[in-house]
Amino acid sequence: MRKLSFFNLFIAGFLLVTATACETAVKKEAEQETETEVVLPSTGNFGEAITKDGSVAIAEIASLITTDDTIPVKVFGSVVEVCQHTGCWLTFDLGNGENIMVNMKDHDFYVPKDAAGKKAWVSGTATRELISVDMLKHYAEDAGKSQEYIDAITEDAWQYTIEAKGVIIEE
């Protein structure tokens, strides 16, 4: 009889933990579905407040990154593309046919989705890293690229990236 009671307690505990975990997951999913999209102003300072002082042209980024280590940077340039899902990343043209991806640090802030073509200043850390096929496809989806374009991504790619702590967007 004692084994049966222990077994029943074990099963009851397991079911309680499972039900609680499922309830929490359902609540989180419902909260995400009911979140309203935050409308950002088209220009301004996003993330940590930064200044334009001491910034260098984005085309100089390759000459600044000389090791595999991350380095602090403050750069400016014209925005090429912005994540159309949330505004969690943007790209700059490096002037040599390559773009640099700028991710908002820890997804703690976003930039306006209509920032393409505007001038921006970014303060953060830069590095050169290998971006996986999955992440490249994710970026392409966020940018609204065609399925044909996404399916054509079959290899990892080395890219310069910046993790931004603050961004200024101007017309």
Instruction: Tell whether the model's pLDDT for residue 92 goes beyond 90.
Output: yes
Q: What is the pLDDT of residue 65?
A: 83
- Are both 123 and 72 inside the same structural domain? yes
- Are both 57 and 27 inside the same structural domain? no
Q: What is the pLDDT of residue 35?
A: 52
**pLDDT tens per residue across span 48-62:** 999 999 999 999 988
Distance from the Cα of residue 93 to its chain's centroid: 18
Between 15 and 75, name the one with better pLDDT: 75
- Are both 122 and 58 inside the same structural domain? yes
* Residues 108, 104: Cα–Cα separation, whole Å: 7
Q: What is the pLDDT of residue 33?
A: 47
Between 122 and 28, name the one with better pLDDT: 122
- Are both 70 and 144 inside the same structural domain? yes
pLDDT band at 145 (very low <50, low <70, confident <90, very high): very high
Lowest mean pLDDT among 19-28, 79-88, 152-161: 19-28
Per the structure, how many domains does the chain have?
2
Provide the domain limits for residue 11: 1-35
- Are both 86 and 160 inside the same structural domain? yes
- Are both 1 and 53 inside the same structural domain? no
**Three-point CA angle 148, 79, 63, nearest 5°:** 100
Yes or no: say if 92 and 99 are a contact pair by the CB < 8 Å rule. yes
- Are both 85 and 143 inside the same structural domain? yes
CATH number at residue 75: 2.40.50
Residue with tokens 């309830």: 23
Q: How many CB atoms neighbour CB 151 within 10 A? A: 10
Q: Is the pTM of this model over 0.75?
A: no
* Residues 80, 53: Cα–Cα separation, whole Å: 22
Length of the chain: 171
